Amino acid sequence: MIPTGDSTPETDGATERRKKSKKPNYSRFTQQELPACKPLLTPTIVISTFILIGVLFIPIGLASLSASGNVVEIVYRYDIDCIPQQSQDDKLAFIQSSVTNKTCTTTFNVPKNMKAPVHIYYELDNFYQNHRRYVKSRNDKQLRSKAYELETTNCAPEATTPDGSPIVPCGLIAWSLFNDTYSFATQSKVIEVNKKNIAWQSDKDHKFGSDVYPKNFQQGGLIGGAKLNESIPLSEQEDLIVWMRTAALPQFRKLYGRIERDLAANEQISVTIENNYNTYSFEGEKRLVLSTTSWIGGKNGFLGVAYLTIGSLCIFLAVAFIVLYLLKPRTLGDPSYLSWNRNPDGH
Amino acid sequence: MVGEGLTTSEEGEEESPIPPSYRHHRRNSSSAVAASCDGFPKHSHVRHPSGADTERLAASQRELAESDSRLVFLGDPGLSDPRFEMPRNSIRTAKYSLIIFLPRNIFEQFRRLAYVYFLVIAVLNQLPQIAVFGRGASILPLAFVLLVTAVKDAYEDWRRHRSDRIENNRAASVCDPHSGRFFSKRWKEVRVGEVVKVLANEGIPCDMVLLATSDPTGVAYVQTINLDGESNLKTRYAKQETMIHPPGEDHPVDPAGFIRCEQPNRNIYGFLGNMEVDGKRVSLGPANIILRGCELKNTAWVIGVAVYTGSETKVMLNSSGASSKRSRLETQMNRETLLLSAILIALCLVMAICNGIWLGNHSDDLELAQFFRKRDYSDRDDKDENYNYYGLGMQVFFTFLMSVIVFQIMIPISLYISMEFVRLGQAYFMIRDANLYDESSNSRFQCRALNINEDLGQIKHVFSDKTGTLTENKMEFQCASIRGVDYSGGTSLRENGEEHCIVAASNQILKPKMSVKTDPELVRLLRNKGESEQGKQAREFFLALACCNTIVPLVVDTSDPKQKLIDYQGESPDEQALVYASASYGFVLIERTSGHIIIDVLGNKQRYDVLGLHQFDSDRKRMSVIVCCPDKTIKLFVKGADNSMFGVIQNKVDLCMIDATKANLHAYSSLGLRTLVVGMRELSRKEFEEWQSVYENASTSLMGRGKLLRAIASNIEKGLLILGASGIEDKLQEGVPEAIASMRQAGIKVWVLTGDKQETAISIGFSCKLLTSQMTQIVINSQSRESCRKSLQDAIAMYKKFAAISPDPFENILTGIVSTRVPMALIIDGTSLVFILETELEEDLFKVATVCDVVLCCRVAPLQKAGIVALIKNRSDDMTLAIGDGANDVSMIQMADVGIGISGQEGRQAVMASDFAMGQFRFLVPLLLVHGHWNYQRMAYMILYNFYKNAVFVFILFWYVLYTAYTLTTAITEWSSALYSAVYTTLPTIVVGILDKDLSRKTLMKYPQLYRAGQRDERYSLKLFILIMTDAVWQSVAVFYIPYLVYRQSTIDGSSIGDLWTLAVVVLVNIHLAMDVRRWNWITHAAIWGCIVATAICVIIIDCISTLPGYWAIFKIMGTGLFWLCLLGITVAGMLPHFSAKVLKEYLMPSDVQIVREMDKFWRIAATTSEIQNE
């Protein structure tokens, strides 16, 4: 059928329609035609990616390995050695007793030159500082400010004394503060151990209050660890601050102090250990570690090995893919590979 | 006057929801839609939220029973049926009020299972024994989601409140029953029984029964576009009884008058009632009621009485939500979710058992170990008091519950929320797609269902209606056969001058809006005053066409004051075409009222009184009208489908003429034309009077009115003289053959289901390239079950024979010979389907149908359409899509996995029932091939990726827990755990899920075969799930163990290494995503890299809070080279397997998509086009 009306009403209608038209406005966004990059894994890209990773990773791996190799580390496990022969059967009684002499001395040889600063760590094993009961048992508000002294939420069972006054610092973590001490000497000459600045500056400044003093601490029925000097504010109790950065894993090291002088190779160092901390109740292990540091931290070859492995694997893959591309060449975008071209039925 | 007092209004068929007009034979069974309520209660024609509604709908279709009716007293709202509380006319689309917002909204939100899971976990976490996270971190994710949704709901509700307020405060003119004066009242105060006056172009405040209109015959025109989307005007009638005394100042409302009508229901095309006024009883039908939501047009005023108000109006009852289909991907996803739950439970069990063993082994140590300290020494009175220790069994049980809390995100609940965002985004792009915009109907694509976007990418069967879907449903009169003589030599219309279609009316010129090609010989015959039999019959033929219809002529002004156009408004496009045709031949319908019509017969204005009208119905398949001609003869004009008409012809008839007509009809339908046969009979006075008395009784009867009227019609429609037949062309829509070809290439089978005759269906099949001449046609049109069985068995035998001839397709690959299989087409008609569907023959039909390339079903009833869809849906895993435009397609649209409505000429029921709606059939191609493909691959990837990313995180937590004495400590801060799936990794998946495109639109349209990726479930399967989960385990090992081995025996604290793990996992999963992104635009870049930066910022912010244990840790660890080397190592080691596997897969086993991407990249497309198309 053909409209026979005059053209004017038609055009009127047309303009009106245009006004009301619901036609979507064209934009590259609404039509999903934004300019875009369409990366494709061509053989060139694949092979160069693998080679690039290999070329990058192998040197890093070698560098890490050598850095780790340059670190000099002395590890000495003392938790068994420091128990007198007669107490070996009942270590727990020995460590719990208040009358036994827990001092023990040993000497060891410096295998290589150790450049200052030499870090002194104590290492605990099998000590779950990440145990749920333990890790939650602290109150950061109380640590921070005197105003929150009464704040002992989450601190159970070391929250308050039986008469109800708060323990500062409260909680299992503070209560179990490590209390072995070490002193070092060479040929009767004492080696100074610098115990300053072993904690994070940020913790000292913001996390542990300079107006918070220990109170009612370590006075309960069971002694968990070290006692604190009640006249020193928490912000300066660096051992506590270090201890309260709870470790991620059950085997961990904590910084004890630094020796600010070089230790020469073959130097004989005698160590006096006050073996106070009870790790015997849970088969824990205690070690003393002296170590220099490098840019990758302490002695750890894993990273270097891992980088070398990944790097060489990538090189291997690059070669493998080159071989594959040569043995089974496929022209990219060859339409004869399309399923409906291979099989006319399209099934 | 003879017609005085007669009700000529259209008493709609009570059981039919189709408009109160008839639809000719093409909709020969449209009324069966309503029948679906009985036969197929699950798929009734509107989505009913409850069974009660279905009952109410059914009630409207039964006869009006006393107990089930509503009494409305005219003008006296107080007296209205006391049994039922009538709501005021105020409407409330808003869901909430200020006070109930919070409880109600929260209740609504918790109806989703995901939120309940969140809640249970959060509540578990509040128990002191198993509190893993702090209060804040445990509630945060849930609170965040609830808040976002609540804010969104509140905003939407506020907008609804505002529009409600505007709507409720509109002014209505209400009659005071005592004085009869009209005064202004707000809409919300209108009550049932009040008499309301509405002026032209005003909205109608409530559903009202018409009492009077400005038109002396009681006609009113309404536009129902807001109600059902139909833009043409509908006629409504006031009853003659009430027309005489319109309520007003001089005639107060009759206080004794009352209306008895059915209870409110949602059937907008049905109404049943009667009115007692001035002591007379008058019947009321759907033509006597005007509904809220309509607008009054071309009528100065109407007065009506409110019968349904406010929430009981039909428009409000019909405002139901969208469908709630579930996508196939989501169903498959549930399987994997179950698997993940199993993994989660396994992890938790491992944790609980290990914890039990550890506690058992260390039971002696626990009392003193500083990190456990089982005994509570602070209470000195009771030395045996334990601190937070409840015995081994309870500890193990608590560990189990705690593991559930810690590992909760193994089940990616946030995925459900992300999926909703992604679908919203995908819908946005589909709606905004300029290629899916239909210029002619000015309609955009509509997404009515929001959760099956991705199903569009997996369709295997398309069931299409023919009329209005494949064709335009714009009818054009093509040829006529009068007394067996064919007149089809249509010539250009201007040739004969224009005077025959122009009517001079008091120096004004009236013209029909459109004119039709006319056959010069027929024109000459009509103009020839000589009384040849042929000429007389031709004149009667066109007279019949002009008056036997329900078309309303509307006079439209043009810019030329002397010229006016006649626009024929009606609900059936066939009728419009016939009336335009008769106008072109000189029989111009000028005016129609309920009592008479005025026709300009070759220049003379003649008045015909309409004495009776028999609606079209699907049993009779014809309609008829009784008119009193100017020469006082009474004539019955009938038109209808050929098979129904030839059954009621005169006995002593010119057989040659009948045969010639039949031959013409056959020729017309072979051309794809829609045919109608026209007949007439002159009634004697006696015959008429008999008819009149029964007709009058029937039309006011309360019981079985519809049935009675049908019986009367069949009684009078007999002994007809066949005048001739008409052929109407329904043009194919633009691009249909190309669309069908594309879909076939895409591996989609197109089935056409039509109500048309077999010949018409086949010819349309050829013209839209569905059928080709090489195809072997299997035709099944049997009259009995046995012959059906035989036909089916023959068909199977034939298929087997062909299968034996053509070599095995596998051999084809080896030999390279193109398959010689003969394509087959199955053509089956509705009668045969009656014997096949829902019997044991279904299985045979399924076998035959699935091996055929094309299936064409003709003469099918709406319920059969649904039955055919169900045939495929129930017997195979294939996804089905149904597309249609009319009420008769509703059942199949609802039955199919995806229902698409064409928003075309024919009402809105199909659109209302559909999941998606669009303007043209050909849009199906971009919709499926482009959007469907994209949606599917995006959604499939997103689901897998979300499973993977949450699993990586959970496994990292799991590895760490192995080193914490199985006590569920997390090194990653609780805040990071809570934010991981919500903030750290969600945005990129959503962006990629909305924006990533594997291939461009152009390419997808060019290679429809790429669609098969979705049909083959290429992007989501159990295999892919297992692969990506294995990858997740490896990546979690890389993330966890590289730092673990590096930092073992060091001074590292939990927070620092936790920060490293957090950043590493976020970087890794985002790099993984980045590696799989196919198309990088600036938004993708911003989302992925931005997310990593955002995570770093979040971690930094968390570590700046000095009351958290991890204070400053991130700065300390980021200051070391080791951290960065770890991060780099983790990323490379983690991605290495995925990257290598991806490269290998793409190189050795490239998918079609991959090859075409390469072709795209290397510009090989142009060169190889010809090669591709040799399929």
* Tens-digit pLDDT profile for residues B989-1007: 999 999 999 999 999 999 9
* Confidence band of B27 (pLDDT split at 50, 70, 90): very low
Of B939 and A86, the structure prediction assigns the larger pLDDT to B939
Look at B1164 and A32 and tell me if their CB atoms are within 8 Å: no
CA atoms within 13 Å, Cβ hemisphere of B429: 27
- The ipTM of this complex is 0.94
**Which of A10, A37, A38, A140 has the highest number of chain B CBs within 10 A, making it the mutation to test binding with B?**
A38
Do strands B604-614 and B596-601 pair parallel, antiparallel, or not at all (unpaired)? antiparallel
Mean pLDDT in chain B? 81
Q: Is B676 helix (H, G, I), strand (E, B) or coil?
A: strand
Q: Determine the Cα–Cα distance for residues B64 and B274; give it in Å rounded to an integer.
A: 9
With both helix axes pointing from N to C terminus, report the angle between B1022-1047 and A302-327 in degrees, rounded to the nearest 10. Answer: 150
At A130-176, the pLDDT tens digits run 998 899 899 999 999 999 988 888 887 888 888 888 999 999 999 99
Q: Determine the Cα–Cα distance for residues B586 and B1169; give it in Å rounded to an integer.
A: 55
Give the pLDDT mean for B1028-1032.
97
- Amino acid in the structure at residue B470: L
At B212-254, the pLDDT tens digits run 888 777 778 887 766 665 556 777 888 777 776 766 656 666 6
Tokens of B781: 């049109």
B799-to-B497, B774, B778 alpha-carbon distances in Å:
58, 15, 10
Q: Determine the Cα–Cα distance for residues B1091 and B1051; give it in Å rounded to an integer.
A: 30
**Which of A55, A128, A246, A347 has the highest number of chain B CBs within 10 A, making it the mutation to test binding with B?**
A128
Please name which of B163, B158, B125, B159 lies closest in space to residue B141, comparing C-alpha atoms: B125
- Supply the pLDDT for residue B932: 94
Range with top average pLDDT, A235-249, B508-522, B686-700: A235-249
- Supply the pLDDT for residue A346: 42
B815-to-A176, B444, B774, B807, B822 alpha-carbon distances in Å:
82, 49, 24, 10, 19
Do strands B776-780 and B824-829 pair parallel, antiparallel, or not at all (unpaired)? parallel
Of B426 and B5, the structure prediction assigns the larger pLDDT to B426
Measured between beta carbons, the chain A residues lying within 8 angstroms of B1012 are 339-340, 346
- Closest partner CB to A250 (pick from B434, B442, B963): B963
B832-to-B67, B453, B837, B838 alpha-carbon distances in Å:
42, 35, 9, 12
Residue B661 among known ligand-binding residues: no
- Supply the pLDDT for residue B2: 35
- Closest partner CB to B514 (pick from A4, A332, A345): A4
Question: In A177-262, which ranges are E strands?
Answer: 181-186, 189-191, 252-259
Measured between beta carbons, the chain A residues lying within 8 angstroms of B1056 are 248
* Confidence band of B812 (pLDDT split at 50, 70, 90): very low
* CA quadruple A206, A212, A218, A221: dihedral, nearest 10: -110
- Supply the pLDDT for residue B618: 64
Q: Are B1056 and B1117 in contact (CB under 8 A)?
A: yes
At B849-906, the pLDDT tens digits run 888 888 999 888 777 888 899 999 988 889 999 998 877 788 888 889 999 998 865 5
B527-to-A309, B579, B603 alpha-carbon distances in Å:
101, 18, 11
Q: Are A266 and A109 in contact (CB under 8 A)?
A: yes
Please name which of B511, B139, B360, B461 lies closest in space to residue A5, comparing C-alpha atoms: B511
Q: Determine the Cα–Cα distance for residues B1144 and B1154; give it in Å rounded to an integer.
A: 12
Residue with tokens 């009474």: B634
- Supply the pLDDT for residue B383: 55
Look at B444 and A22 and tell me if their CB atoms are within 8 Å: yes
Q: Determine the Cα–Cα distance for residues A294 and A70; give it in Å rounded to an integer.
A: 8
- Supply the pLDDT for residue B832: 86
- Supply the pLDDT for residue B985: 92
- Supply the pLDDT for residue B1064: 96
Q: Are B465 and B754 in contact (CB under 8 A)?
A: yes
* Confidence band of B1172 (pLDDT split at 50, 70, 90): very low
3-state secondary structure string across B1119-1155: CCHHHHHHHHHHHHHHHHHHHHHHHHHHHHCCCHHHH
Q: How far is CA B530 from the centre of its chain?
A: 57
- Supply the pLDDT for residue B671: 79
Look at B1012 and A297 and tell me if their CB atoms are within 8 Å: no
- Alpha-helical regions (H) of B806-962: 809-815, 830-836, 842-851, 862-875, 890-895, 909-913, 924-925, 933-961
Residue B574 among known ligand-binding residues: no
Q: Are A121 and A195 in contact (CB under 8 A)?
A: no
- Supply the pLDDT for residue B234: 76
| Beta-carbon contacts of residue B16 (< 8 Å; ≥ 6 apart) | B30, B31, B33, B34, B269, B270, B617, B618
Q: Are A176 and A155 in contact (CB under 8 A)?
A: no
Of B904 and B150, the structure prediction assigns the larger pLDDT to B150
Residue B844 among known ligand-binding residues: no
With both helix axes pointing from N to C terminus, report the angle between B1121-1148 and B1022-1047 in degrees, rounded to the nearest 10. Answer: 160
The nearest alpha carbon in chain B to A121 belongs to B1051
At B965-996, the pLDDT tens digits run 999 999 999 889 888 987 899 999 999 999 99
Q: Are B1115 and B1056 in contact (CB under 8 A)?
A: no
Give the pLDDT mean for B803-816.
47
Q: Determine the Cα–Cα distance for residues B217 and B554; give it in Å rounded to an integer.
A: 16
Of B34 and B379, the structure prediction assigns the larger pLDDT to B379
Measured between beta carbons, the chain B residues lying within 8 angstroms of A224 are 370, 373
Catalytically active residues of B, by annotation: 465
Measured between beta carbons, the chain B residues lying within 8 angstroms of A328 are 1148
Look at B1157 and A22 and tell me if their CB atoms are within 8 Å: no
Percent of chain B with pLDDT over 70: 84
Q: How far is A150 from chain B (nearest CA, A)?
A: 16
Please name which of B685, B626, B702, B632 lies closest in space to residue B8, comparing C-alpha atoms: B626
Residue B337 among known ligand-binding residues: no
At B446-472, the pLDDT tens digits run 888 778 899 999 999 999 988 788 888
- Supply the pLDDT for residue B324: 61
Measured between beta carbons, the chain B residues lying within 8 angstroms of A20 are 442
Weakly modelled stretches of chain A, pLDDT under 70: 1-20, 343-347
Beta-bridge partner residues of B768 = none
- Supply the pLDDT for residue B46: 34
Indicate left, alpha or beta for B886 from its phi (over 0: left) and psi (-120 to 50: alpha): beta
Q: Is A304 helix (H, G, I), strand (E, B) or coil?
A: helix
* Confidence band of B418 (pLDDT split at 50, 70, 90): confident
At B701-756, the pLDDT tens digits run 656 667 788 888 888 888 888 888 988 888 888 889 999 999 988 999 999 998 77
At B594-648, the pLDDT tens digits run 678 888 887 788 889 888 888 777 677 788 999 988 888 899 999 988 878 888 8
Range with top average pLDDT, A148-157, B479-488, B596-605, B948-957: B948-957
A183-to-A103, A271, B679 alpha-carbon distances in Å:
11, 6, 123
Q: Is B682 helix (H, G, I), strand (E, B) or coil?
A: strand
- Supply the pLDDT for residue B358: 93
Residue with tokens 């036994």: A100
Percent of chain B with pLDDT over 90: 25
The nearest alpha carbon in chain B to A245 belongs to B1053
Q: How far is A41 from chain B (nearest CA, A)?
A: 7
- Alpha-helical regions (H) of B548-654: 573-584, 642-645
- Supply the pLDDT for residue B1008: 93
- Supply the pLDDT for residue B1163: 66
B750-to-B462, B769, B821, B872, B889 alpha-carbon distances in Å:
5, 11, 19, 12, 16
Instruction: Give DSSP secondary structure letters for B798-822.
Output: HHHHHHHHSPPHHHHHHH-PPP-PP
At A291-305, the pLDDT tens digits run 999 988 888 899 999
B905-to-B229, B435, B468, B571, B910 alpha-carbon distances in Å:
10, 20, 7, 9, 11
Buried (b) or exposed (e) across A231-269, using 16+ Cβ within 10 A?
eebbbebbbbbbbbbbbbbbbbbbbbbbbeeebeeebeb
At A238-272, the pLDDT tens digits run 999 999 999 999 999 999 999 999 999 999 999 99
Indicate left, alpha or beta for B916 from its phi (over 0: left) and psi (-120 to 50: alpha): beta
- Amino acid in the structure at residue B1038: A
Q: Is the pLDDT of residue B507 over 80?
A: no
| Beta-carbon contacts of residue A231 (< 8 Å; ≥ 6 apart) | A213
Residue B885 among known ligand-binding residues: yes
Look at B1111 and A206 and tell me if their CB atoms are within 8 Å: yes
- Supply the pLDDT for residue B1: 35
Enclosing H/E stretch for B55: helix B51-61
Q: Is the pLDDT of residue B797 over 60?
A: yes
Question: In B401-470, which ranges are E strands?
Answer: 446-447, 459-465
**Which of A120, A133, A175, A323 has the highest number of chain B CBs within 10 A, making it the mutation to test binding with B?**
A133
Range with top average pLDDT, A258-267, B202-211, B256-265, B1165-1174: A258-267
The nearest alpha carbon in chain B to A167 belongs to B378
Q: Is the pLDDT of residue B369 over 80?
A: yes
Residue with tokens 């037949």: B725
Instruction: Give DSSP secondary structure letters for B729-784.
Output: EEEEPTTHHHHHHHHHHTTPEEEEE-SS-HHHHHHHHHHTTSS-TTSEEEEE--SS
* Confidence band of B25 (pLDDT split at 50, 70, 90): very low
- Closest partner CB to B442 (pick from A22, A123, A138): A22
Question: In B523-652, which ranges are E strands?
Answer: 552-557, 563-569, 587-592, 596-601, 604-614, 622-628, 634-640
